[in-house]
Amino acid sequence: MLKLLVVVASLFIGGGMAMEEPRGADGFSAVAAVDPGANPEAQLDEEPQEVSEAPAYRVDDLTFLYLTHEVYLEPYVSCRPKVLGERSYVACWNETYSGRSPLNFWEYDGGDFLALNDPARVLAEGKFASEQHIGEAPLPLPLDIDLDQLERAYSLMM
């Protein structure tokens, strides 16, 4: 039993099996393909990153802000994520029997929600001002953010 424990401990510490360098399908080392003089962070930036919807738990966090700050008189808040182009968005609104409130558009960027349109900006500057992951997108908005297109895309979801 003691001998087995010593063998496992030596493997764990690194005295056991040697790791081989990973090789690609062509037989060349993946490590050798990297330019040793290049900045590794710059190489990571060159790879295109796929944009994904805001995670469900973050959308729930935003919905919770609407409820805890009592943004609407009635607690019927919907927040839905959507990806358009190269950006991830979340739209929130209040749905009641009398109709729907204006959509509040947020861009989800690296864990933060950035207010895009006037209703969302009012919240970011007011009720949500002390919240850690709430901010405002700088104006003027980048050309690839089209609020009319966002409105149409979310109208199709409802």
Please check the confidence at residue 47 and state whether its pLDDT lies above 80.
no
Please check the confidence at residue 58 and state whether its pLDDT lies above 90.
yes
Strands (E), 33-140: 77-84, 87-96, 99-100, 104-109, 112-115, 134-136
Percent of the chain with pLDDT over 90: 59
Instruction: Give the pLDDT of residue 39.
Output: 55
Instruction: Give the pLDDT of residue 98.
Output: 86
Instruction: Give the pLDDT of residue 91.
Output: 98
What mean pLDDT do residues 74-79 have?
Answer: 91
Contact at 8 Å (CB) between 92 and 63?
Answer: yes
Please check the confidence at residue 104 and state whether its pLDDT lies above 70.
yes
Percent of the chain with pLDDT over 70: 70
Instruction: Give the pLDDT of residue 156.
Output: 84
Extract the tokens encoding 154: 């979310």
Mean pLDDT across the chain, nearest whole number?
A: 79
Strand-pair category, 104-109 with 87-96: antiparallel
Regarding predicted confidence, which is higher, 63 or 37? 63
CB atoms within 10 A of CB 115: 21
3-class secondary-structure state, position 32: coil
> Assign residue 85 a region: left if phi > 0, alpha if psi is -120 to 50, beta otherwise?
left
Task: State the virtual CA torsion across 110, 64, 78, 73 in degrees, nearest 10.
Answer: -140
Instruction: Give the pLDDT of residue 41.
Output: 53
Cα–Cα–Cα angle for 100, 105, 48, rounded to 5 degrees: 140
Instruction: Give the pLDDT of residue 13.
Output: 41
> Which one-letter amino acid corresponds to residue 40?
P
Instruction: Give the pLDDT of residue 27.
Output: 44
Please check the confidence at residue 126 and state whether its pLDDT lies above 90.
yes
Contact at 8 Å (CB) between 145 and 116?
Answer: yes
Predicted model pTM: 0.68
Please check the confidence at residue 95 and state whether its pLDDT lies above 70.
yes
Strand-pair category, 87-96 with 112-115: unpaired
